[in-house]
Structure 1
Amino acid sequence: MRRLPAVLCLLLAATTARAAVSVEDGSGQTVALDKPAARIVSLVPHATELLFAAGAGGKVVATVDYSDHPEAAKRLPRVGGFTGFSLEAVLRQKPDLVVAWQDGGTPRELERLKRLGVPVFVSHPLQPDDVAKEIVLLGKLAGTDAEAARAAAAYRQRLSALRRRYGDKPAVRVFFQLSQAPIFTVSANSYIDSLIRLCGGVNVFAGLSQPAPQVSIAAVAAARPQAIVAGDDATLAMWRRWRELPAVAGGALLALPGDAISIPGPRLADGAEQLCTRLDTARQRLGLTPR
């Protein structure tokens, strides 16, 4: 048998080296693949959106309930939901990569996947820019680096443009309401707080320790927010009788429908734009003058 020329051997070795990929996931663990993933299972809706943004949508073979963006994700098989996933259903998809969530309730099942030799990337976006970082990392794992880089850059540019436009406008004291009964809000440990600041707002509950703390009506009244933001008008209606609140007196009860701001994926830029627009409306209603 003839020996391959040395140059060809070097080229083959370089190609093999490039095929192997390795990244650090949101939990600080190294995820290594012999070659870019061809069959990916996403176990959380925001990861599904990240994968599609990274150009890897065609490689996603299954996901979980509420993975509704983009449209193509609705047609994928489901292997679980918010409370957990079926290990058997995941394994039937023969994945070479599973993308999970740091705060998901299935750590034991994820460890079983790892013991069975299935690589698991744990997603953990804590701040808006983490979305761009994870798009890049998932693109690397899927072999779609170029498209992922473009998507991450476009996302970052949108947030930068919003920061330049709204960040230095007169500050608005904001109460961001996640739910009605009980009342949950966000602290500085939530990425939503970063978006409030990006839009020139001040989160009245930024100082609380939990990312999504529970608060009382009395605490909201004491904080005297100038704007109250919630997902729908029905939630906002509970505050209309509190006429002494600046947000109510100034007509700054602001609905932010949809889930763009509540899912840490690429649509977060859409949610940020909606929030900035709403807070600018509050400035106008409150008669705040530019600095």
Structure 2
Amino acid sequence: MHKLFRISFTTILLAMLSTLSMYGVAAVTVTDDLGNKVTLDRPARRVISLAPHVTELIFAAGGGSKIIGTVKYSDYPEAAKAIPRIGDLRQVDLERIIALKPDLMVVWMHGAFNQQLDTLRKSGIPFFFSEPQKLSQVPETLINLGQLMETEAIAQSAAATFQQQLQQLTIQNQHKSKVRSFYQVWGHPLYTLNDKHIVSDAIRLCGGENMFGALAPSAPVVTVEAVLQANPELIIGTTSMGDSKNDIDQWKNFPTLLANKNHNLLVIEGDLMNRPGPRTIEGAKAICALLDQARQHRSTDIAKGLK
């Protein structure tokens, strides 16, 4: 009798394991952008996004329908606007997050979140930290998210498209002359981004040099005097959410500034680059176009001087 029971139990257990394998319910492990191993016992079905760029990445990886909560300014793609808000980039509603019972949180690591994230860690919710600092990391992130959400086919397709465009852009710009550039995120105070940000990677790709890339803070505040002393050939301003004002016109008050003299006070849509997500390839194309304009203006000025 006991022998028969043992045989029956073993048979049932093997059948259960076979069924689980057949339906693909198995643990998945990936590495996030901080180098942490993230393991889920089964694919994520209830995901919370804690940054606008994260929301874009999840949608591009095929998991938009799985997002149950996100933060303010997660406005792309259009469907993201309908997702319930659980806070902003400064503070989130911890009780609401826990009540939503997410099986994955995709977060952006910055100082304002540290204490709150410690509280959420104790709840046992798995975390994936997302902050691509190079354009080449975006396809990797898409694939990782696809694995975590079991949307690999969509994620791999998006990653391949991004990688193909990146390769083409790299070839097109690999032998172009250097353009000394200042990237202006905001005018008052005067914010820029350092070399650890994906913006600088795009500037380098396009043959440019970020004049303040060596500064320690990821988003340093600089002075007008420091910009004038650096004397960049190109100043790139940014707009956001349809707002055309970036205070880039303030540089027109300095006639000796090279970027002003060469008519290189140019603007791109900030969300394309300030959010390190799938649209950064379009942002990189825009930056390359601005650097090409600066080179053209340089050639025009030289030609004028020869006449």
- Give the TM-score normalised by structure 2: 0.86
Report whether the alignment pairs 1:286 with 2:298: yes
Aligned counterparts of 2:47 and 2:12: Cα–Cα separation in 1: 37
Alignment RMSD (CA, Å): 2.3
The answer to whether the 8 A contact 1:189-1:209 is kept is no
The answer to whether the 8 A contact 2:192-2:222 is kept is yes
Could you tell me how far 1:17 is from its partner in structure 2?
A: 7.4
Q: Which residue of 1 aligns with 2:186?
A: 179
Which region of structure 1 is more displaced relative to structure 2, 123-132 or 169-178?
123-132
Q: In the alignment, which of 201, 211, 236 is matched to residue 208 of structure 2?
A: 201
Q: How many residues align?
A: 289
Aligned partner of residue 253 in structure 2, secondary structure: coil
The answer to whether the 8 A contact 1:26-1:102 is kept is no
Q: In the alignment, which of 114, 121, 124 is matched to residue 117 of structure 1?
A: 124
Identity %: 38
Matches within 5 A, 1:206-221: 206-221=213-228
Change (3 A) 1:226 1:16: same
Structure of higher CA gyration radius = 2
Q: Which residue of 1 aligns with 2:305?
A: none
Matches within 5 A, 1:205-284: 205-232=212-239, 234-284=246-296
Change (3 A) 1:76 1:192: same
- Give the TM-score normalised by structure 1: 0.91
Could you tell me how far 1:254 is from its partner in structure 2?
A: 0.5
Report whether the alignment pairs 1:30 with 2:37: yes
The answer to whether the 8 A contact 2:30-2:39 is kept is yes
- Whichever structure has more helix as a proportion of its residues is 2
Amino acid at match of 1:130: Q
Uncovered stretches (5+) of structure 1, i.e. residues with no partner: none
Aligned counterparts of 1:57 and 1:73: Cα–Cα separation in 2: 8
Could you tell me how far 1:28 is from its partner in structure 2?
A: 2.6
The answer to whether the 8 A contact 1:189-1:210 is kept is no
Report whether the alignment pairs 1:144 with 2:156: no
Could you tell me how far 1:9 is from its partner in structure 2?
A: 7.1
Change (3 A) 1:41 1:7: closer
The answer to whether the 8 A contact 1:102-1:124 is kept is yes
Q: Which residue of 1 aligns with 2:61?
A: 54
Q: In the alignment, which of 55, 62, 71 is matched to residue 64 of structure 1?
A: 71
Q: In the alignment, which of 25, 39, 52 is matched to residue 46 of structure 2?
A: 39
The answer to whether the 8 A contact 2:193-2:200 is kept is yes
Could you tell me how far 1:275 is from its partner in structure 2?
A: 0.9
The answer to whether the 8 A contact 2:237-2:246 is kept is no
Could you tell me how far 1:261 is from its partner in structure 2?
A: 0.8
Amino acid at match of 1:247: A
Aligned counterparts of 2:119 and 2:22: Cα–Cα separation in 1: 32
The answer to whether the 8 A contact 1:20-1:33 is kept is yes
Aligned partner of residue 38 in structure 2, secondary structure: strand
